Amino acid sequence: MAERTFIDAEKFALSFADAAATPLDDKTEVVSAAKKYLLSYLTAYYLVEDFNGIEKENFKSQTETHFRDMTFEQLLDRVQHLNKY
């Protein structure tokens, strides 16, 4: 089986959320900042989960061409197709 890319959704989401977090000058903004952090975390988490599911499907099929065997044009077509979801 070809090597596949796997992103650890939890690690990615935590890193993404940490990068989006900024120090607070105003302590009254803690709830707002926590909501932004949670939104960043959940957005990244589910985005990566979707990616992993789509990527797994692409490597599961033995009848389709794998990414590594595609021409650039085929890969571009596949990416455009995946972006429709």
pTM over 0.75: no
pLDDT at 61: 56
Helix, strand, coil percentages (3-state) for the chain, rounded to 5, are 70, 0, 30
pLDDT at 85: 56
Pick from 45, 51, 46: nearest CA to 5: 51
Encode the chain (85 residues) as per-residue pLDDT tens digits: 456 667 788 888 888 788 777 776 777 777 887 788 888 888 888 888 888 888 777 666 555 666 677 788 888 887 777 777 5
pLDDT at 63: 52
